[in-house]
Amino acid sequence: MTGEGFPGKLPNAFMTTGTSSFSEFLSSAAPELLPGRRPLPPGDYAEISSHATTIVAIRSAEGVVMAGDRRATMGNYISSRDIEKVFAADQYSLVGIAGTAGLGIELIKLYQVELEHYEKIEGAQLTLNGKANRLATMLRGNLGIALQGLAVVPLFAGFDTDADSVEEAGKIFSFDVVGGIYAERDFDSIGSGSIFAKSSLKKRYRRGMGSDDCVKIAVEALYDAADDDSATGGPDPTRDLYPVVMTATADGSRRIDESEVAEVARSVIAARTENPYG
């Protein structure tokens, strides 16, 4: 925060007009706080930091459901058993991250402020598509470090308050490291266990499923991912750790109570004890 002009006056970046974006403001007021603005020496840094793994998002009859496992890994070592990777981006949208955990969580924190900042300055929320595009733009700023092994890939889902009907209101967007943005029809998954999670969802998902059923198949998809991917954590009854599950509906974004998720996870474990292949 360098002051220009007369002493005491706020720096010009604070008083300039024309932008409602917090990250654009940061790029002139405090660029060191932007994750993409830290040049690294040449090399690959994939092994120096924790990696967050599997997230699933599903469209339900009432909106969307998003769930994430609780594991972060560094190579073959489990760096966290209780990390949280699914967050409410704002009142009507959810965001989850896979990839470099530290950068991903920083990106989400910045993104949450970005949406709130816009809302306060403009007096209105961005549209759901506007929010998704904004996330893509922020990802593009990270391309350099992504190519050096510190990639972050988010998954974004939300309830579109401008939709014609509730059935059409749930929307899911996936991204790639270069900032490409893709609208998903029914469900999607990211992270190392995503192939297995998606295969599980393919067999279980039906269009028009209610939120409760979507929560069940989301927890089951993460169970299947953990079954075959060593970087994805399964439900952990010994430590009382279960996936983070959130929904975004007309009532807003909300985290499903942990005891409720524990109940669902226990029933999945019981069913698999009966029949290991689901």
Partner 1 sequence: MGMQFYTSPEQIMRDRAEYARKNISRGRNVVVLSCADGVLFVAENISSALHKLSELYDRIGFAAVGRYNELENLRTAGVRMADLRGYSYDRRDVTAGSLAKAFAQTLGAIFSEQTKPFEVEICVAGVGPNPEADELYRLTFDGSILDEPGYLAMGGQAEDLVEVLKADHDYNLPLADAFALALSALSHGGSNGERRELSRDVLEVALLERARPGRSFRRIEGLALEALLPAVEAEPEAETDEADESDDSSETTES
d(CA 86, CA 158): 13
Site string for partner 1, 33-72 (x = CB under 8 A): x---------------------------------------
Smallest gap from Cβ 24 to partner 1, in A, equals 11
Closer residue to partner 1 in complex, CB, 106/260: 106
CB proximity list for 213: less than 8 A, separation 6 or greater:
60
Catalytic (active site) residue 53 = yes
What residues numbered 100-139 form the site for partner 1, per CB under 8 A? 109-110, 113, 116-117, 120-121, 123
d(CA 77, CA 261): 26
CA dihedral in degrees (182, 183, 188, 194; nearest 10)? 0
Q: Is residue 17 within the footprint of partner 1 (CB under 8 A)?
A: yes
Across the strands, what pairs with 60? Answer: none
User: What number of H helices and E strands is found in the chain?
Assistant: 8, 13
Closer residue to partner 1 in complex, CB, 39/123: 123
Work out the number of other CB atoms within 10 angstroms of the CB of residue 215: 23
The label of the residue with tokens 């040049």 reads: 39
Smallest gap from Cβ 15 to partner 1, in A, equals 5
Q: Which stretch binds partner 1 (CB under 8 A): 4-12, 94-102, 195-203, 248-256?
A: 4-12
Q: Which residues make up the interface to partner 1 (CB under 8 A)?
A: 5-10, 13-15, 17, 22, 25-26, 29-30, 33, 109-110, 113, 116-117, 120-121, 123
